[in-house]
Amino acid sequence: MRTVAYASIIGASGYTGQETLDRVLAHPELELVAVGSDSLAGQPATALDPRLNRNGGRRVPVFIANEAALACEADVTFVCLGHEEAAALRPSKRSVVVDLSGAHRLRDATLYDEWYGFSHPHPSELGDWVYGLPELMGLGGRELPASAGVRPGRESGRLQGSARSESARADSDRRQQGRLVANPGCYATAALLALGPLREAIEPDGVVVDAKSGMTGAGRIPKASTHAGFVLENVSPYKVGAHQHVAEMAQLLGFPVSFTPHLLPIRRGLIATCYVQSAGPDLRSLLEAHYASSDVVTVLPVGVTPEIGRVQGTDAAELGVFSDRFTGRTIVVCAIDNLGKGAAGQAVQNANRLFGFAETDGLRLSGVRV
């Protein structure tokens, strides 16, 4: 019998919310029961995008307020809000929560003032959240279990009579089983996919990460730095030495990195070039071994470079490994889609692991689009 889990999305009108919505609708094991957006509450799905609810696709319910979507206590809730707004939420005690913001990524509450500009309202609860980078689980912090024994709400189209009561008992200890998931940031995802498996094999001093991302990484709310007149025909660094994702990188790696992000004049896609010094081992061999069984991350053959164009619109990641013949350093390049593996795709991947679904369910991984 096919088991289906109920899903809700909070903040569905933003870029990450819309991308998450698209993946939930394509997921064979998730059924959408609530779509939250304070700006679109009471309006039909077509208010967000006229492609919804047409051509025989799965139906999207009318938008409701975010608070109401959270209160519906679906089996899994995807939180797609701003950092400070997400930090103020009190998660349901009955559901898995995957937070796509930065509100719960850092274990040290004092770092939020420094990196996010606000004091965390629930500092004592940060330890309950698991940092959800599936390919690196177990390398740092608490581990996200491959399946936490979550009981979804429906089986073969019929409500399970005891599912809710059993779920309530099981979910009383969800925090001990990793049911609160902090989805990593897009830059952190790319850098950590490249560096995480190597952290014990490289010199910790002098690691440099140079990364570039499309403009959707800045969110849907317009600002001067994402205006077409600023972005087009321009490449600009921003938050130099002060981007919040560097704190995530240091937290998992165990040492600081020098990180500079840049804004590209494209809608989506991200590429991170990482410069490291091996402490002895062959770094390509380590990465190939680590990702040998991955359906999401590919270590490209020798001489093949990762490209944004090949991962745009997907949830895949490409890694390339190169030797710098002049300095003896190793250069590891990672390309992802900032809205895919860097956000919505990874959120769904995390949910898949917790529910015991196939890890690639609902993900965009195939095709050779031009």
Q: Catalytic residue positions?
A: 186
Tokens, residue 152: 């979804």
Give the largest Cα separation in the chain, rounded: 67
As a whole number of angstroms, the distance between CA 365 and CA 369 comes to: 11
Pairing of strands 96-99, 76-79: parallel
One-letter identity of residue 59:
R
Q: Using an 8 Å Cβ cutoff, are 300 and 319 in contact?
A: yes
Please tell me the distance from the alpha carbon of residue 40 to that of residue 49, in angstroms, as a whole number: 11
What gap in Å lies between CA 45 and CA 277, rounded to an integer? 50
Rounded Cα gap, residues 86 and 330, in angstroms: 38
Residue whose entry in the numeric block shows the structure tokens 């165990």: 254
207 DSSP 8-state letter: -
Contact 312, 367 (CB under 8 A): no
Which is nearest to 346 in space by CA: 366, 369, 364, 320?
A: 364
